[in-house]
């Protein structure tokens, strides 16, 4: 046996461990797109709020309805684009899309995220609107940290950044939309682009 | 150099067996199809290597039913994980020794 054989053995072992335990087809571009949708959404929300303060757009309930509609559309677009781009990437790499690693990733992402979503709805219902955006950032960050064990490690750093931003937003309450735009818009674009350059080029 | 080769586990001389163990040490358990897809080998080939690993008690085999379909789950045993670790150590030691002699 040659030295190169052993080296090849080791690199094969490493590759199998990676492929069997982590979902690595996650597309960086989907992060960039999610960030762009979030920024557009934040811009629309800001416009709605400005109109409302100027006396247009009717009651508080109507405005809240518009804001929820914007948030919902942004979320759906981001998830849809994410699934589409990731599926495309997995196909290019010849990997299966919905395998055990993908399932594990989704489950570990969704548990903290669902709790955060319900928590945010309760906050809105109770009238604590000031801490809705910070708590969404914190829960989203924790969900990312939790899921990062099952995908690219870079996701953990994005999660830590979201949590830090969420805590900061809790200290300076009243700039919810701005922090929301930075966290879901800016950070997604930065991390998505860096992952794209690192893995997909 | 020679004494290092003695520490090599005979059970891991084959690439497929090495691959099976690599996948099973990082997963609680995997089924037959997942292993087949991961390693890109034929049914017969995989089955014979799984049997060999089962024989030396490096892996544990659980037969169960998912709905009406039979499903076999494979998991690494404690002995298997230990043996795999020792094999990796031996590989590393060998590569180190080769580096020094060069």
ipTM of the complex: 0.79
A7 in B contact zone (CB under 8 Å): yes
Task: Classify the C-alpha dihedral A136-A140-A146-A147 as positive or negative.
Answer: positive
Q: Which chain B positions have a beta carbon within 8 Å of A9's beta carbon?
A: 15, 18, 91
Confidence of residue A117 (pLDDT cuts 50, 70, 90): very high
Q: Please check whether residue A170 is in contact with residue A134, taking contact to mean a CB–CB distance below 8 angstroms.
A: yes
Q: Which chain A positions have a beta carbon within 8 Å of B96's beta carbon?
A: none
Element (H, E) at A170: helix A154-171
Which residues are CB-neighbours of A79 under 8 A, at least 6 positions away?
A: none
> Token pair of B30, please?
């995997």
Q: Considering only residues 100 to 139 of chain A, which have any Cβ-Cβ distance to chain B shorter than 8 Å?
A: 100
pLDDT in tens, A61-70: 788 888 889 9
Cα angle A44, A47, A49 (rounded to 5 degrees) comes to 110
Which one of B9, B13, B19, B22 would you mutate to disrupt binding with A, by most A Cβ within 10 Å of its Cβ?
B22
Q: Which chain B positions have a beta carbon within 8 Å of A16's beta carbon?
A: 19, 22-23, 38-39
> Token pair of A103, please?
């399932």
Q: What is the mean pLDDT of residues B69-82?
A: 92
Q: Bridge partners of B66?
A: B69
> Token pair of B63, please?
């037969």
pTM metric for this prediction: 0.77
Chain A residue whose CA is closest to B90: A6
Nearest CB neighbour to A20, from listed B26, B91, B94: B26
Token pair 């109507």 is found at A62
- pLDDT at residue B65 tops 80: yes
pLDDT averaged over every residue in chain A? 90
Q: Name the DSSP letter for residue A173.
A: T
pLDDT in tens, B12-31: 888 899 999 999 998 888 88
């Amino acid at each position: 046996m040659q030295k190169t054989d052993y080296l090849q053995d080791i690199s094969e072992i490493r590759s199998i461990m990676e492929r069997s335990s982590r979902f690595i087809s996650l597309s960086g571009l989907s992060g960039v797109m999610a960030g762009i949708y979030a920024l557009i959404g934040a811009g629309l929300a800001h416009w709605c709020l400005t109109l409302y303060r100027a006396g247009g757009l009717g009651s508080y309930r109507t405005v809240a309805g518009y804001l929820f509609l914007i948030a919902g559309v942004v979320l759906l677009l981001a998830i849809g684009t994410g699934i589409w781009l990731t599926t495309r990437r997995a196909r290019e790499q010849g990997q299966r899309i919905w395998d055990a690693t993908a399932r594990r990733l989704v489950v570990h992402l969704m548990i903290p995220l669902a709790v955060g979503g319900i928590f945010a709805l309760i906050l809105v219902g109770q009238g604590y609107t000031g801490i809705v955006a910070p708590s969404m950032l914190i829960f989203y960050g924790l969900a990312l940290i939790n899921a990062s064990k099952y995908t690219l490690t870079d996701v953990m750093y994005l999660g830590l950044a979201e949590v830090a931003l969420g805590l900061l937003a809790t200290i300076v309450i009243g700039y919810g939309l701005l922090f929301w735009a930075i966290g879901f818009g800016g950070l997604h674009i930065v991390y998505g682009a860096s992952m794209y350059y690192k893995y997909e080029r | 150099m020679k004494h290092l080769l003695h520490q090599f586990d005979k059970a891991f001389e084959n690439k497929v067996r090495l691959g099976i163990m690599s996948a099973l040490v990082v997963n609680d358990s995997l089924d037959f199809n997942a292993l087949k897809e991961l390693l890109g080998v034929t049914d017969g080939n995989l089955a014979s290597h799984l049997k060999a690993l089962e024989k030396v008690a490096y892996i544990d085999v659980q037969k169960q039913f998912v709905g009406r379909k039979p499903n076999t789950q494979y998991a690494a045993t404690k002995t298997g994980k230990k043996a795999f670790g020792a094999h990796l150590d031996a590989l590393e030691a060998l590569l180190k020794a080769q580096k020094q002699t060069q």
